[in-house]
Structure 1
Amino acid sequence: MIGLDEYYKLILIGILYLVYEKSYKLYICLDILKELLARVAEQEDKVSQPFYQRYYTALLKHVLAVACDSSQVHVAGLTYYAEVLCALFRAPEFSIKVPLNMENPQQSNIDYIYESIGSDFQNHFDNMNADQIRIIIKGFFSFNTEISSMRNHLRDFLIQIKEHNGEDTSDLYLEEREAEIQQAQQRKRDVPGILKPDEVEDEDMR
């Protein structure tokens, strides 16, 4: 029988494998990860704190690497990423009590994350200066209880990346467009006689 720590490790390996595979069921992986983070936060310190100390930093970096990949984020949609990012950036404020920086345990966890992620971003996004990166990371912390604000913050970040790379940004608005279409269809259904019976059946199948 495997221990709880090994169980968590196997779950995370499985989730991250599917995330990097760009599976069309990526949203399911992100939902599972969000649920796992919620359950860990509810555990006693003797369970939750070793998990955070062992896995949190690597997990955060893996999720950010995929969320900030402009070719990947449309696979699941911004909202799923925003929900997971909210959970990840809430943890240092409300749940993590152990030091994440084992080389300098006196450093606050939030300062450590700023430095660690900031260094990664500076190496990866050469079009952004230190102030831009600081604001991006600050936004991740500031919006960690507001999913819609986190989604918009992530989208603004991705727009900067895509525009720098000369890529189209229209795919970052697909969720809103789909919601608008569904609302328009519902309004048509609500008005008697606008849709024929076969058209109603047609739209219900989409």
Structure 2
Amino acid sequence: MITKNFEDYPEHRLKFFSLLRAIATHCFPALIRLSSQQLKLVMDSIIWAFRHTERNIAETGLNLLLEMLKNFQNSEFCNQFYRTYFLSIEQEIFAVLTDTFHKPGFKLHVLVLQHLFCLVESGGLTEPLWDVATVPYQYPNNTMFVREYTIKLLSTSFPNMTSAEVTQFVNGLFESRNELSAFKNHIRDFLVQSKEFSAQDNKDLYAEEAAAQKERERQRMLSIPGLIAPNEIQDEMLDS
């Protein structure tokens, strides 16, 4: 019903993905017991969700994905899960990150990528992410493999950028991975300078900072007696 297109039954879609998130949050052991085919169906559904251009559905899918990534990282099936899904998740997240229709999801795209890069650098994955049977070159570690994979992936996505520019960006992802603000700024700078985003209104990429600035200004005004009328404060409380 929801895989034919992105338009039909929006309420059903949102409720379906909200249910999946509730299961991932509160009933994760049930997901671990799924067969590989059943888990693949769940993961495909999550990817379908965050590909959606409807903001609520896409955000629900991205939050669900973050829940799944964190839960599997802390489970005994960590290696098995990430060996199966790490590369496809990275590819899909970069696909929506670099799609101008998905700019409202920027904050969550960044959080997913930060999780992936931190995980691969942490040594938490003790088995190769590449297929040792088909990849002729045996990488010394997963970090080297993911670095090369990401460079190739982005070189294809941004043919107008030089190899040096892409390599510098990927190196920066690893270097800034532990500091969210630096990691986010690094990705945002890369997008803004790209041909696809350079002619766009990119205010959605700064939405989090704009909201924080607005809240700081509100708190400043509240701290000054009489600057905001009591009825305006009550209206804000009702709205929140």
- Same topology, TM > 0.5: yes
TM-score, length basis structure 1: 0.86
Q: CA deviation at 1:20?
A: 0.7
For residue 193 of structure 1, give the secondary structure of its aligned residue in structure 2.
Answer: coil
What is residue 59 of structure 1 aligned with on the other side? Answer: 89
Which of 97, 117, 124 does residue 89 from structure 1 map onto?
117
Q: How big is each residue's C-alpha offset from its partner over 1:101-130, in whole Å with a ceiling of 9 and x where there is no partner?
A: 212362132222222222221222122111
* Higher RCO (C-alpha 8 Å, min separation 6): 1
Change (3 A) 1:171 1:55: closer
1:101 equivalent in alignment to 2:130: yes
Query: CA 1:48 to 1:132, structure 2 compared with 1: closer, same or farther past 3 Å?
Result: same
Go from structure 1 to structure 2 and tell me whether the alpha carbon gap of 1:126 and 1:91 turns closer, same or farther (over 3 Å shift). Answer: same
1:47-196 paired onto structure 2 within 5 Å: 47-74=77-104, 76=105, 78-94=106-122, 95-102=124-131, 103-104=134-135, 106-107=138-139, 108-161=141-194, 165-196=198-229
d(CA) in 1 for partners of 2:119, 2:176: 13
Residues 1:34 and 1:21: Cα distance change in structure 2 (over 3 Å): same
Q: Aligned equivalents of 2:49 and 2:197: distance in 1?
A: 28
**Equivalent residue of 1:88, what SS?**
helix
Spell out structure 1 runs of 4+ moving beyond 4 A.
162-165
Retained in 2: the 8 A contact 1:79–1:148? no
Sort the Cα spacing of 1:22 and 1:90 in 2 relative to 1 into closer, same or farther, 3 A: same
Q: 1:8 to 1:190 in 2, by over 3 A?
A: farther
* Secondary structure of the structure 2 residue equivalent to 1:72: helix
Range 161-170 or range 25-34, more displaced = 161-170
Mind listing any 5+ residue stretches in structure 1 that lack a counterpart? none
- Contact 2:66–2:112 (8 Å) recurs in 1: yes
Q: Report if aligned partners of 2:53, 2:101 keep a CA contact under 8 Å in 1.
A: no
1:89 CA drift (Å): 1.0
How many residue pairs align between the two structures?
202
Structure 2, unpaired ranges of 5+: 1-29
Deviation at 1:163? 6.9
Q: State the shift of 1:165 in Å.
A: 4.7
Contact 1:15 1:29 in 2 (8 A): yes
Amino acid at match of 2:54: S
Whole-Å separation in 2 of the counterparts to 1:168 and 1:72: 13
- How large is the Cα RMSD of the aligned pairs? 2.2
Which residue identity lines up with residue 153 of structure 2 in the other structure?
D
Whether contact under 8 Å (2:50, 2:60) holds in the other structure is no
Residues 11/150 of structure 1: CA separation in 2 closer, same or farther (3 Å cut): farther
